[in-house]
Amino acid sequence: MSLGSVFNLTLLHQSIVQATPLLLTALGGVFSERSGTVNIALEGIIMIGAFFGYAGTYYTGNPWIGVIWAMVAGLLVSLIHAIVTTTYKVDHIVSGIALNLLAQGLTGYLLVALFQSQGSAREFVAQLPTITIPFLKAIPVIGPVLNAVFSQGPLVYLAFLLVLVGWFLLERTVFGLRFTSVGEAPQVADSLGVRVEPIQYAGVLISGLLAGAAGAQLTIGTMPRFVYLMSGGRGYIALAAVILGKWKPVGVMWSSLLFGFFFSLADNLQGTGFAIPNEIFLMLPFILTIVVVSGLIGHTEGPAHSGKPYIKEL
């Protein structure tokens, strides 16, 4: 099989689809880390969001309600992380790992308890619609490319719209300035009248909402059923996308698209007849993640106080 059968418009379309849950989660990670909280629990929140997105759609027949269930579930899990890390000053990594383990056990238990199934839910549910822009396909030369890009589900469009919203909020508003000041120097921000804990809560809760939506994208946005552990490490990869994107929404968009491309390339290269084991292709996104977090692709520094508990001086 030729490379032309791999590098085509389908690969472009799939790359955008694969990038969407990473982008939603990574944008949440930007808000969380720029407010001073590392949210390793994003992996577990995606799992929870995927399950409740499926469950909400299953019980109501409405995928939009499934999205709401997923986001609310993500919000609740992130609230636990915010309370534990911000109010009780528990180590951010310890809290995140504990919540990931909780999500793994809870989704496995609920899958059996509610759907009498192990491994994956047996029934498919309603899926979010695909939104296309009809006239794009008729444009000469570039029409097929534009059609491949702009034939997506609503959460895909939402993710890329949120890049602009996130950029504006963080870079052009007083709200964003306060976020940045809390993540860099909370003592200074506090002395200037900025309420540190509400900002930190807001950052973590935003990350939970977006990671919950990312989970919904995996089920009712892409494959309308739940598979146990279907997050597949995307929460950790999203954190790598945050680092590669230098904690900025636009940078995170490009890094998420890069990771999405690797995911899609791995899928498309399987079964093509190349004399390379399929497992190598499946490893590509994770190899890139290791390279990023090890600092081999440039030197990046995140918010100075991210991951450190803030204890107000009396």
Beta strands in 101-166 (DSSP E): 131-132, 151-152
Mean local confidence (pLDDT), 234-256: 93
In whole angstroms, give the CA distance from residue 191 to residue 314: 11
Whole-model pTM: value is 0.94
For the record, the structure tokens of 144 come out as: 């097929």
In whole angstroms, give the CA distance from residue 10 to residue 261: 11
The tens digit of pLDDT for each residue in 128-172 reads 999 988 777 777 777 878 877 888 999 999 999 999 999 999 999
In whole angstroms, give the CA distance from residue 219 to residue 110: 16
Residue type at 301 in one-letter notation:
E
Q: Where are the domains of the chain?
A: 21-235
Unique residue bearing structure tokens 């090890």:
294
The angle at the Cα of 236, spanning 230 to 239, to the nearest 5 degrees, equals 135
pLDDT of residue 75: 98
The confidence band for 276, taking pLDDT boundaries of 50, 70 and 90, is low
The confidence band for 186, taking pLDDT boundaries of 50, 70 and 90, is very high
In whole angstroms, give the CA distance from residue 243 to residue 161: 21
